[in-house]
Amino acid sequence: MHFEGKALKWHHAYVKSLWNALPGWGEYVKVLLERFGEVCDDPMADLMKLRQKGTIGEYHEEFDAIITRLDFPAENSLSCFLGGLRNDVQMMVKMFQTQTVRKAFTLSKLYESSHTVMLKWVSHWKPDMLFPPNLCFQ
């Protein structure tokens, strides 16, 4: 960890106030956030509002940024991750009864990739075509 400016001055003053005895990491982070964190920071509210707007990767990054600020059991994390996905992605992932966020993310990425290919196929298809165009190498 590296502090500069105000944060470094605060750190020195805080350690001095404890008679140079360092607190546990959890306590230190708590006090640090009290001093420098957002006044209205509410990661639970952020998690409840989180919805997939872009790609699965973008959603997962936002999800990770929020979930790391919470002390959350894994099974609840999975429910929250699934709940924020677009409905079509959510239903496909639920079909496979995933047990972890990591597996749900992997399935979501697979669905997103296949969905992208399907959209390309539909955009090239014409009613008089007997077979779909070969999109594998386009």
Question: pLDDT by residue (tens digit) across 17-74?
Answer: 988 777 888 888 888 888 887 666 788 999 999 999 999 999 999 999 999 888 888 8
Q: Is residue 10 part of a domain?
A: yes
What is the chain's alpha carbon radius of gyration, rounded to the nearest angstrom?
23
Q: Is residue 129 part of a domain?
A: no
Give the pLDDT confidence score for residue 111 in this predicted structure: 93
Question: pLDDT by residue (tens digit) across 86-135?
Answer: 999 999 999 999 999 999 999 999 999 888 777 676 666 666 655 555 65
Q: Is residue 134 part of a domain?
A: no
The residue range of the domain holding 72 is: 43-124
Same domain flag for 23 and 66: no
Q: Are 63 and 71 in contact (CB under 8 A)?
A: no
- Quick one: tokens of 68? 């790391």
Task: Tokens 């420098």: give the residue.
Answer: 36
